[in-house]
Amino acid sequence: MILVLLGPPGAGKGTQAKTLAKELKLPHISTGDILRQNVSSSTDLGMQAKDFMDKGLLVPDALVTKMLTQRFSQPDVRNGFILDGYPRNLNQAKTLEDILKQRKMFINIVVYLEASANVVIQRLSGRLVCKGCGTNFHATNMPPRVPMTCDNCRGQLYQRNDDKVETIKNRLTVYKNEVKELTMYYHKLKVLHRVNADEEASIVLHKIIQLAQQYDDPNKV
Ligand code: AMP
């Protein structure tokens, strides 16, 4: 099963993808996570990407695509994966199709998580992420038991650089400029489903699982 999650920052793509990966026993591939790992270990890629990320802009397609191709060459993707954060524009969508075609793989389902701007700003401006295991918390909606400490692994929580209100607004503008073409593209390929992501995470998850269950999986080996 290849399941792609589209949606604005703050729609819950990462949260849903993590749970779906466990439920469906598939790897979760997040281009944002891979980029952040590269930034924190100061790789060449991380140094080239950092400025774009801090400003809420897209990292150039060539860099992200190279990174994704490397990830796809690992054996765990053979039975499919949950893709979160890619594609962000039409060019990336076409590149993804080419990469998958070479591997005789197909996207089964694209879930577009639709969330309103005020919900997104409220979610992201309070988001706290664990440095250790990546679990998300929220300063008011889902606070950790001990301030700034992860309930799961006791790791330290931090606010992402790009979760400041001004940067969130930039990320939303960038997103709006690209999403229309992307959804039209996947609509034509008959794989697009829209889910209201303003709802609670457990309701959204249930809807995505129901959608995923409708698909026979041509990727299964
Ligand atoms: P995310 O964690 O998906 O919100 O991504 C955080 C940041 O990483 C984005 O604001 C972009 O700067 C960068 N990024 C993640 N995925 C992509 C992508 N597919 N194309 C370009 N930039 C990306």
Which of 1, 39, 49, 59 lies closest to 215, judged by CA?
1
Which one of 16, 37, 40, 58 would you pick to mutate in the ligand 1 pocket, going by the greatest count of ligand atoms within 8 A of its CB?
A: 58
From residue 195, how far is each of 44, 78, 177 by CA, in Å? 37, 27, 20
pLDDT on residue 216: 64
pLDDT on residue 213: 87
pLDDT on residue 53: 94
Is the Cβ atom of 35 under 6 angstroms away from ligand 1? Answer: yes
Distance, CA of 193 to CA of 96 (rounded, Å) = 18
154 catalytic residue (yes or no): no
Question: Which member of 18, 36, 123, 171 is catalytic?
Answer: 171
Is the Cβ atom of 162 under 6 angstroms away from ligand 1? Answer: yes
pTM reported for the whole predicted model: 0.89
pLDDT profile of the chain (221 residues), mean per 10: 95 94 94 93 94 93 93 92 96 96 93 94 93 91 96 95 90 90 96 96 95 72 48
Which one of 59, 67, 91, 176 would you pick to mutate in the ligand 1 pocket, going by the greatest count of ligand atoms within 8 A of its CB?
A: 59
Radius of gyration of the chain (CA): 17
Ligand 1 geometric centre to CA of 59 (Å)? 7
pLDDT on residue 210: 92
Torsion of CA 123, 80, 27, 34, to 10 degrees: -70
pLDDT on residue 151: 97
Helix/strand number for the chain, H first, E second:
8, 8
- Using DSSP's 3-state secondary structure scheme, residue 130 falls into strand
Contact (Cβ atoms closer than 8 angstroms) between residue 163 and residue 150: no
pLDDT on residue 14: 92
pLDDT on residue 195: 97
Q: Indicate the pairing of strand 127-130 with strand 157-158.
A: antiparallel
Question: Which member of 160, 176, 188, 207 is catalytic?
Answer: 160
